[in-house]
Structure 1
Amino acid sequence: MRILVALGGNALLKRGEPMTHARQRANVAKAAAVMARVIEAGHDLVITHGNGPQVGLLALQSAAGPKASAQPLDVLDAESEGMIGYLIERELRSRLPGREIATLLTQVRVDGADPSFAAPTKPIGPTYSESAARELAAANDWTIAPDGHGWRRVVASPEPVEVLEARAIGLLLAEGVIAICAGGGGIPVVRQVNGWLTGIEGVIDKDASSALLAQHVGADLLILATDVEGLFEAFGTPRQRLIPTVRAHDLTLDDLPAGSMRPKAKAAADFVRATGRSAVIGALDDVEALAEGARGTRFLP
């Protein structure tokens, strides 16, 4: 079975953990061990990953230097894609000697008129108290929003229109290469009227890009791996209950948080509606069981 596994940025750098290289490396090692077992079970794997915590940290580091050297978000997206892809690839190569693995910087075309540029929703970087977030927002001209128990910077998250390296990724898969690609949702670019590509400030939702790429590469299953076990009814209350299955055509998104579970549910439903195949949302540690249909929330036609 060909499976596209989208690793959440918060699964690789968990909420509340120190944003250190050692912690991220340890989490990547755990993720790679799970991925390796799925590959050893005979599945073809395409791996994508988020970058919300990481790209936000890179943005803080960039802003701390001389103003003229500050990098735009599309360049920081590329940096985070290379950084996280390298860590995943290194860990997988150690566990799968003899297998071909490639990390591919991936550009994703978006619409420069996408409404998200006027209404940012994508959380990036560390979590702050409300007062600290408001101070930073005033000092740095940020947009901020609640995220879980804290506040974070939010940026534009335009809809992906086209994965520009989709054909190249397909060629890698045809040769048996494990592809790590579309990291952080890919690098957002727009096509000008003369056909030239230019980068644009934003962070594409990783799950939306993964759903689109999964269609392009003919994935049999889309797994959206995160830091929770799936979709819950009455989440965060004593009445919370895991929802084991969802019919994609019956899904309503209004009750799901805009910056976290809503884009995952939308991406899963979009993939199922477009392909007639299935998708599942669940915990990173459960990926083997997610592939077997034993855990998580499964989206069905």
Structure 2
Amino acid sequence: MKTVVVALGGNAILQPKQKGTIEEQMANVSYSAQQIVKLIQAGYRVVVAHGNGPQVGNILLQNAAARDQVPAMPLDVCGAESQGLIGYMIQQCIGNELQKAGLDKQVVTLLTQVVVDRDDPAFRNPTKPVGAFYSQEEAEKNMREKGETWIEDSGRGWRKVVPSPMPKEIKEIETIRTLVENGVVVIAAGGGGIPVEKKGELLAGVEAVIDKDLASSLLAKQLGADILVIATDVSHVAINWGTPDQKNLERLTVDEAKRYLEEGQFGKGSMGPKVQAALSFVEGGVFLLRDIVVADAAGFAGRP
């Protein structure tokens, strides 16, 4: 039986221009769950990973709004909180769809820690904006008192930026493997995982954000999955995107993907990490054949 890792993007949970109510998010996730259950019905063992951008952003906004009443939580804790929030929605929706299909399967959400390397260059050059916008005065105070990095963001105010290091190890991989081998549908590595670093034999949370596609690729590799599906909000990977010369790509060789990445054909904050994740998965395994699908999220993003 083949194992497939499905990486759901943010659009699978919250569509553009939606407010983010629980009703909206549950409706989106419910449709994605229907497509995931189709994979289960087709005989695949399924692991689901997901993004958390809008949700963790909202958690940070809530932290900021209530900071005079309750202590604000660090980013790794907010990421863990978002894993529980989104995992609950996905777990319930998949369970409901399994029930409708008459399938007796367990679904579980696993809080997932992902180890990063403190020597990663990303820690010397934080670039990932997180949280609310603040005044220059507040930003400078945080930089001075907390040693944080803040940037002015497009005239809208100042925002904190954090590192986005490469994922090195899925800490709970053996637990995930055991669950999958026993027929459980597992939701893991949400939001790229909770970033942690090793301090001797112990772990400690890190103020960082891990790209969810790269984490999903690492999860698929360490699990020995046969297929990695990365759901997107566009129909194709393309070169010359948004120009009259745009060319949609149905298939890519490893060499072609590397060349296009070097040429800057894929956006660093959009398709680039997805193609990089695909390359890492295809090249990283002991299997002679692995499949990677960068799929239109119509089937996974809450819309027919």
TM-score range, shorter chain: 0.7 to 0.9
CA offsets per residue over residues 80-113 of structure 1, 9 Å max, x none?
0111011000001111122111110001111122
TM-score when scaled to structure 2?
A: 0.83
Counterpart position of 2:41 = 40
Counterpart position of 1:174 = 181
Give the letter aligned to residue 161 of structure 1: K
Match of 2:274 among 241, 264, 267: 264
Q: 1:231 and 1:89, CA in 2 relative to 1: closer, same or farther beyond 3 A?
A: same
Q: Which runs of 5+ in 2 are unaligned?
A: 143-149
1:69 alignment partner, SS class: coil
- Deviation (angstroms), 1:66: 2.2
Percent identical: 43
Whether 1:221 aligns to 2:227 is: yes
- The structure number with the bigger radius of gyration is 2
What is the aligned-residue RMSD (CA, Å)? 2.3
Counterpart position of 1:8 = 9
Q: 1:6 and 1:80, CA in 2 relative to 1: closer, same or farther beyond 3 A?
A: same
Structure-2 separation of matches of 1:64 and 1:182: 28
Match of 1:106 among 101, 108, 112: 112
Structure-2 separation of matches of 1:113 and 1:14: 36
Larger mean Cα displacement after TM superposition, 211-220 or 61-70: 61-70
**Is the 2:114–2:170 contact (alpha carbons within 8 Å) kept by the matching residues of 1?**
yes
Counterpart position of 1:159 = 166
Give the letter aligned to residue 50 of structure 1: G
Whether 1:247 aligns to 2:249 is: no
Q: 1:88 and 1:152, CA in 2 relative to 1: closer, same or farther beyond 3 A?
A: farther
Q: 1:56 and 1:37, CA in 2 relative to 1: closer, same or farther beyond 3 A?
A: same
Structure-2 separation of matches of 1:279 and 1:152: 35
Match of 2:86 among 84, 87, 101: 84
- Deviation (angstroms), 1:125: 6.2
Match of 1:95 among 91, 94, 97: 97
Counterpart position of 2:145 = none
Structure-1 separation of matches of 2:137 and 2:253: 43
Give the letter aligned to residue 40 of structure 1: Q
**Is the 2:166–2:210 contact (alpha carbons within 8 Å) kept by the matching residues of 1?**
yes
Equivalenced residues, count: 275
Larger mean Cα displacement after TM superposition, 213-222 or 168-177: 213-222
Which stretches of structure 1, 4 residues or longer, exceed 4 Å deviation after superposition? 123-126, 135-141, 151-154
> Comparing both chains, which one has the higher relative contact order based on Cα–Cα distances under 8 Å and sequence gaps of 6 or more?
2
- Deviation (angstroms), 1:218: 1.4
Give the letter aligned to residue 290 of structure 2: R
